[in-house]
Amino acid sequence: MARHTQLTQTPAIVTANAELAERLHKVWETEPGIKGFLGTVDHKEIGIRYIVTSFIFLLIGGVEALILRVQLAQPDLHVLSPEQYNQLFTMHGVSMIFLYAMPVLTGFSNYLWPLLLGARDTALPRVNALSYWLYLFSGLFIYASFFMGHAPNDGWFNYVPYANRQYNPGPNIDFYSLGMIFLGISTTVSSANFVVTAMRTRAAGMSINRIPILVWGTLTSSVANLIVIPAVSLAFFLLYLDRNYGTKFFQPQSGGQPLLWQHLFWIFAHPWVYAIVLPAMGMVSDGLPIFCRRPLVGYTLVALSTMATMAIGFGVWTHHMFATGMSDLALSFFSGVSIIIAVPSAVAVFAWIATIWTGRPVFTAAFHFFAGMIALFVIGGVSGFMTGSVPVDWQLTDTYFVVAHLHYVLIGINVFPVVGAIYMWFPKVTGKFLDERLGKLNFWLMFVGFNLAFFPMHISGLLGMPRRIYTYPHDVGWSAWNLITSIGAFLFAIGVLLLFHNIAVSLRRGKHAGANPWDGGTLEWAIPSPPPPYNFVVLPTVASRHPLWEDRLDDAPGRSRLDTGLALDKGRQMLGTSVVDAEPAVILQMPFDSYAPFTLAVGTTIIFVGMLYRSWPGMAAGAIITGIALLLWLWPGRLREGSPEAANEPPFAEPDHV
Amino acid sequence: MSAPLNYLTSHGARADMILPLTRGVLIISIIVILIVCGLLAAAIFRRRPVEAPGADPRGLLFRPRGGLTFVYVGVGISTLVLVATTIRTMKTLADVVSPPREAKLTIEVTGHQWWWEARYFSEKPAEIFTTANEIHIPAGEPVRFKLIGGDVIHSFWVPALAGKTDTIPGQTNITWLQAERPGVYRGQCTEYCGKQHANMAFFVVADEPARFEEWRQKQIAPAAPSADVAQGLSAFQTRCGACHTVRGTPAGGKVGPDLTHVMSRGTIAAGTLPNTPGHLTGWIANPQGVKPGNHMPQIDMSGADLNAIRTFLQTLG
């Protein structure tokens, strides 16, 4: 948590210079060695860790999917036992939805936000570090079950009563329940950090109508997470109590309610689905203008539609439950909302197409991925519209049609923009280009493989193939479509591998990229690639949405100032600005590297392991370590360490009346 | 190739009401995909005026007018289509709620891991009977279904006749369906329910009303095993009777399917195997090989016992 002092007098304004840069470098640099590794609070370091970790989970989840596709390639195969199949499809879903899709976007936002916002870090750097360690440890916690042979086996949706101990006696579901509560803490603190960062640390002048759409996307997701994660954490906690301490919240024999689970789960999980696509849609909204050589069409509409999607998205959760025997009134309401939610999505799609139409596309690899995403979004969107109509959904639900739909949505609107974002921002992160020729091949392999794999699922779904079946008979007409799907899955996997190959090759001998390789207009392109630890030598002042384009577009009210600004070099300092207009308000004194987040995460892990084994001493030990970490965290006077001169000087000129 | 579970054709009143909506939204969806992807392709590949030669490529940056109109028109048309679909959805929803006329027959279906129990209600208690996995109904008449979850949640689905309704423990869901013509309609559990979710099929058999009545009378009657299968009956009682009921014999278990008239069914193990003597023997001898993880235990028995039980079961027509 940053401490701040009210800004009552303008601090010195300087021009960027090498001496200042060197001084800032020393202050902001992560320490070498173990202290830096465990203690870093640098948003760029944390962002990269998030992205790398999430891609490892993506790879594991992908391998799981390929094994599932081998089992389903032909009818009546015995590659997997039913239980193995069930554990694999559950872990595939859990890995992709929870351990990849959200964390990868958190990683990008972590890395990019301060650069986009003209800041030196996120608002709560230690909370940020904590969120990563909690994510890593909860992911390992969930996967520990896999290597012990007791992976969750009830799908990511984990319906009771099948998840109750009576039907599921192993530790499988305990791992999942605790792992989800655990991961929920990570997502919660990370979301809190994003909300504060967006509201408090934008560059002077970056009023809310000048914020990049990616920031709107992640901000909207973060607010939604803060609202809905308590529901799912509660659900999993009640289930943990049911399974381990004999409460009976979900046991129908004792008056418990199986549908209570579904409501608590989906009131979280449907907004979550939007939370894992809105930031990726933001990447497309920010990326397309660069490659179409014009600002986004309908910025305000797109920003508002982002928030409208989430607002409406809070009211659609029961469309996962249309077959549970709800009242007709409830069915009608949720059906209407589930159909109308397509309106804000249409706004985004038409705004993107208008941007391309009226612009002059440059056919880079990143552009391929962003444009391809629009096509996949449309296909996934209309199949979602179909399932929104209740009577139709009674037929479609729980068939492969829905599997097709959700993969078009999640791979189409998450993975494709993310890979596009890698092609776009890799030069910023590493200072080197990814190979563009390989990149286009990468796109076409993924695009063709994806459609070959998932389009036929619509048809096997319309032919009545249910979800989550480990095998199927030969006489029901699904065999050919499944074979095509399996072949497409492997083609798609080769496309993904080509991305890794490209990264590996380009890291070693990629073409050198300057500060602004694509001629982008936002602040991250104003600083060197890779960015220095302090991001900006002087803090920029922003006068338009595209500070680097305003000379040429010539439509900004004034001019942004990037070379002259506040130095804020007394320790780790940042500017705090007002929520709406981003007027300078306070100087934030930012924390240095610290073991506290790591220790806190270790303590939390021990608590959860203790809960898994129902060991009171284990839980107590974890709680003690957590308490010590919190003390360490909150101990006063640790903010300016490492900056001896700062300790002796006030952070800025004292106001006269003091 | 036949696809018995496809839902783009229908054979009953309830599915008939839904089918035009399903086809309608499917056609709308295909048209939307074609139009929007067409616009996208046109936007990407349309010819653009050539820049003046020698112009600075960075000068290409511009802010042309007109994009917003495109967004307004596109979103406007989309909204009209969405609202129209919503209204049509409500209309269909109101239509399907009740059958065209009052249902005379009520069947209570209970979903079990991994088979279906069907209990036929009657005003006369003596005419109430239970069967499994093959549900006969009279063609041309609406039938009311009470759906109950026996253990975990399952979902009752006969795509040719109606959409899904879940069977949930602790609550009773009501649905109805009607088959226009006699025929055999495949059904399937569609809510994930554990290891053998894949092999949890059933059949709805629609008979001419007279034939249905004949079938019903036969089902009401208890089994009458003849003396020459006494050895099989006794083996069945000791090996199988704790879980299975055969009315008319002391075997009265409630855990597994009622086998009183098992030979009248076309399949065994919830639609997994055709009901032939060979498959029947294989199923009794090795249930865990056929449906790994299902609740029917693998029981060691001599070949003689196995044959005797099979022979006994074959008399249960």
Q: Which of A335, A355, A396 has its CB closest to that of B67?
A: A355
Q: What is the mean pLDDT of chain A?
A: 94
Residue A653 in this model has a pLDDT that exceeds 50: no
H or E segment and range at residue B105: strand B105-112
Asked if B67 and A358 come within 8 Å (Cβ–Cβ), the reply is yes
Residues in B closer than 8 angstroms to A549, CB to CB, are 61
Give the number of other Cβ atoms within 10 Å of residue A516's Cβ: 18
Question: Residue A124: left if φ>0, alpha if ψ -120 to 50, beta else—which one?
Answer: beta
A153–chain B nearest CA distance, Å: 8
pLDDT in tens, A273-317: 999 999 999 999 999 999 999 999 999 999 999 999 999 999 999
Residues of chain B with pLDDT under 50: none
Residues in B closer than 8 angstroms to A475, CB to CB, are 2, 4
- Looking at residue B59, its pLDDT comes to 57
Is the Cβ–Cβ distance between A50 and A103 less than 8 Å? Answer: yes
Torsion of CA B306, B312, B315, B317, to 10 degrees: -80
- Give the 3-state secondary structure of residue A253: helix
A329–chain B nearest CA distance, Å: 10
Asked if A397 and B174 come within 8 Å (Cβ–Cβ), the reply is no
- Looking at residue A557, its pLDDT comes to 79
Which of A324, A373, A555 would best serve as a mutation to test chain B binding (most B beta carbons within 10 A)?
A324
Residue A643 in this model has a pLDDT that exceeds 80: no
Asked if B29 and A385 come within 8 Å (Cβ–Cβ), the reply is yes
Q: How confident is the model at residue A50 (pLDDT cuts 50, 70, 90)?
A: very high
pLDDT in tens, A588-624: 999 999 999 999 999 999 999 999 999 999 999 999 9
Asked if B89 and A257 come within 8 Å (Cβ–Cβ), the reply is no
Residues in B closer than 8 angstroms to A375, CB to CB, are 37, 40
B182–chain A nearest CA distance, Å: 20
Residues in B closer than 8 angstroms to A393, CB to CB, are 163
- Looking at residue A649, its pLDDT comes to 41
Strands B201-207 vs B134-138: parallel, antiparallel or unpaired: parallel
- Looking at residue A392, its pLDDT comes to 96
Paired tokens of A269: 């999980």
> What domains appear along chain B, each with residue ranges and CATH number?
105-208 (2.60.40.420), 227-313 (2.60.40.420)
Count CB pairs under 8 A between chains A and B. 275
- Looking at residue B62, its pLDDT comes to 84
Paired tokens of A382: 């209309």
pTM, whole model, 2 decimals? Answer: 0.95
Find the residue in B nearest to A344 (Cα): B75
Residue A656 in this model has a pLDDT that exceeds 50: no
Residue A162 in this model has a pLDDT that exceeds 50: yes
Residue type, A191: S
Q: Which of B37, B60, B64 has its CB closest to that of A375?
A: B37
Residue A351 in this model has a pLDDT that exceeds 90: yes
pLDDT in tens, A423-434: 999 999 999 999
Backbone angles phi, psi at A515, to 5 degrees: -65, -35
Query: Peptide bond preceding B114: is omega within 30 degrees of 0, i.e. cis?
Result: yes
Q: Residue B311: exposed, middle, or buried by beta-carbon count in 10 A (0-12, 13-18, 19+)? A: middle
- Looking at residue B41, its pLDDT comes to 97
pLDDT in tens, A506-558: 999 999 999 999 999 999 999 999 999 999 999 999 999 999 999 888 877 78
Asked if A325 and B60 come within 8 Å (Cβ–Cβ), the reply is no
Q: How confident is the model at residue A651 (pLDDT cuts 50, 70, 90)?
A: very low
What is the per-residue burial (b if ≥16 Cβ within 10 Å, else e) of A346-373? bbbbbbbbbbbbbbbbeebbbbbbbbbb
Give the number of other Cβ atoms within 10 Å of residue B99's Cβ: 17
Q: Which of B75, B169, B191 has its CB closest to that of A350?
A: B75
Find the residue in A nearest to B172 (Cα): A325
Asked if B74 and A472 come within 8 Å (Cβ–Cβ), the reply is no
CA angle A314/A320/A322 to nearest 5° reads 110
Q: Cα–Cα distance between A603 and A198 in angstroms, integer?
A: 29
Helix axes of A172-200 and A82-94: crossing angle, nearest 10 degrees: 10
- Looking at residue A650, its pLDDT comes to 42
Question: What residues does A541 pair with on adjacent strands?
Answer: A204, A561
- Looking at residue A7, its pLDDT comes to 59
